[in-house]
Structure 1
């Protein structure tokens, strides 16, 4: 009962205050605003109420502005992030284009270096499993004039040889493959050797050099090795690499060692295919075959791509 009376009393007080405020508001409109005691009373009572309402209104306005600003910032941030993503993608594409342009410029320079040969550019579209480009596929084939045994080069020098062709694709076996042998010549001495692929050795960035004929002991580390004139399938004078180490074989007749190839066989993208085939000297092949049959023990400068003669080269230089 007491609580009910207190509640009723509060309602009466609130109603009285409200009525008093309404009277003051009405009087403020009908009374001269510049004079009279009511102006003083109105200012004393109404002004604080108005200030309070203004503060509440300002607070609500500030909060509305804050939330609106937050919404705008979120939208602006999303828009900026989209622009950043677009610029990042564009920058990445520009970097790729720059790298490709650099590679193509290097191929152009290589094309000029071997301008005696007709060449066609090709992109690598597939490769065998593993880290190295020992056997891979290019996007040019027989309809583009690609033939088996055509030489393949890229920035730096010799890559390998075409082993199989289709209408719009061809397979390349590189000189680092286990089944690849290339007859090379040391340019400083004109001594011949065999460059034998070995995928285990290429992990060290090297390729085998065997059966080097260096009777005068003039070959040294750093000498340049190019494809030999006596090669049955590789055109002469194409850079292979530089000698990294060399030593005498146990037979005291030939030397072996390694070379560092000029081509980066871990990162290949584009290549040039030389459309000219090596013209095989039938008389030379006949002599090589005869020497092979007779089992010549000492290799000479006319020996072909493998240590056992032309027949082995035909198997390995596919």
Structure 2
């Protein structure tokens, strides 16, 4: 065991001497060229390999770091792009809403003869046999059944059902709806009825027009005021096409509505109209004394 320790101590000592000689030789490499050249020839391949490895490793780290930073920047740019697109959408929506509200205000201002309340459309129910939508106003806001509903473009329909804070509007396109109209052209003034068309919901009909009735394509139709729901003079639409029945006594016409019911968002409900209000005559009967002639005629009639 003692000899083994001596061998270990001797080996360590030789290694230290060898390293010391290498260090001295490295310091004196310029003055001892044969030592420095040999050392450089021995160490150059290892130095070159280590340099290449470290350079490749550094390049890989740089590429990965750039990729991560590029991904982060790309995600940031995408988020900024999405935020800008949302701002553009919000701006366009504000502009569209502003235009609609301006039209509503202008319409209300130009129709002072009506007491109206504005309402927003909240749900829609469009089908073959029904065409209605729900608004966010009800009895608490003064609405009642059979009140007319319109927009700046023209007549929409009427209130069919009403609840405390909502109401259902039955539109002109509903097959159950009929509106009394009159041709606005002074030479015509033909009165008839516009009804919803169950066979073609987008083409309401002007029905029961006399075969020789003065109705032409392009004529403007307005409410006639008959029926007690719609005031007279509200725009309904125009005659798009006339269907003549060669064997019948009446003819029908397809009507193009002036109000675009597919894009309705806000409407007006007419609470009351002050236009054309007349003093109602007294219904109290007045007794007139009989004359002698009345008595004679009464006797003759009895006989």
Q: What TM-score does the superposition give when structure 1 sets the normalisation length?
A: 0.70
Aligned counterpart, 1:239: 235
Residues 23-102 of structure 1 mapped to structure 2, 5 A cutoff: 26-31=23-28, 34-37=30-33, 38-102=35-99
Q: How far apart are residue 219 of structure 1 and its match? A: 2.4
SS of the counterpart of 2:176?
coil
Q: What does residue 260 of structure 1 align with?
A: 256
Whether the 8 Å contact between 1:125 and 1:138 is mirrored in structure 2 is yes
Report the Cα offset of residue 245 of structure 1: 2.0
Q: Distance in 1 between matches of 2:19 and 2:128?
A: 90
Report the equivalent of 1:275.
271
Matched, 1:168 2:133: no
How far 1:247 sits from its partner (Å)?
Answer: 4.8
> 1:203-214 counterparts in 2 under 5 A?
205-212=202-209
- Partners of 2:183 and 2:219 within 8 A in 1: yes
SS at match of 2:74: helix
Conserved? CA contact 1:131–1:266, under 8 Å? no
CA contact (8 A) 1:158 1:239 kept: yes
Bigger relative contact order (CA 8 A; separation at least 6): 1
TM-score of the pair, normalised by structure 2: 0.73
Change (3 A) 1:24 1:61: farther
The alignment of Structure 1 onto Structure 2 pairs a total of residues equal to: 261
The answer to whether the Cα contact below 8 Å between 2:130 and 2:175 also exists between their aligned partners in 1 is no
- Cα deviation, 1:38-92, whole Å, max 9, x if unaligned, reads 3333343334432222111111111111122222223333333333333344444
**1:148 offset after TM fit, Å?**
2.0
Asked if residue 157 in structure 1 is aligned to residue 154 in structure 2, the reply is yes
Aligned equivalents of 1:64 and 1:151: distance in 2? 74
Q: CA deviation at 1:158?
A: 0.3
Question: Where does the alignment leave 5 or more consecutive residues of structure 2 unmatched?
Answer: 1-14, 281-303
Further displaced range: 149-158 or 47-56: 47-56
Which sections of structure 1, spanning at least 5 residues, go unmatched?
1-17, 284-318
**2:133 alignment counterpart:** 136
Distance 1:197 1:282 in 2: 35
